[in-house]
Amino acid sequence: MHWDDRQPIYRQLAEQLAGRLLDGEPREGEAMPSVRVLAGQYLLNPLTVGRALQALSEDGLLENRRGLGLFVREGARERLRALARQRFLEQEWPALRRRLRRLGLGPDELDWEGHLA
């Protein structure tokens, strides 16, 4: 995994883990991998991993079950999808639309599969 210097690593890891949650891994109600497992998988300090998991908990995606670990909350996937859509529409789409205009590309020249028509 390549880490970007412009954003804290724990935040990048949280986004990576959120992407996995959005893909259904692990499923709602299932346990998250432990800090130790994630630290080994991503070759990161366990404190960094802990901060990433804490960020996901603060976003309401994970819940701590005393003595059992962190579990994916019910509704986490839909919450993530709503947050991702909002972020895309507010931040990414305007920039993408500007770029398409600069390049002279209109809706009739693109299809949903990502190829030029």
Model confidence pLDDT, tens digit, residues 5-28: 999 999 999 999 999 999 999 999
What is the Cα–Cα distance from 95 to 74, expressed in whole angstroms? 33
What is the Cα–Cα distance from 54 to 17, expressed in whole angstroms? 12
What's the mean pLDDT in 63-86?
A: 95
Q: Where are the domains of the chain?
A: 1-103
Class level of CATH domain 1-103: mainly alpha
Q: What percent of the chain has pLDDT over 70?
A: 96
What is the Cα–Cα distance from 5 to 8, expressed in whole angstroms? 7
The answer on pLDDT for 117 being more than 80 is no
Write down the mean pLDDT value for the chain.
Answer: 92
The answer on pLDDT for 115 being more than 80 is no
The answer on pLDDT for 70 being more than 60 is yes
Residue 77 Rama label (left phi>0; alpha psi -120 to 50; beta) = alpha
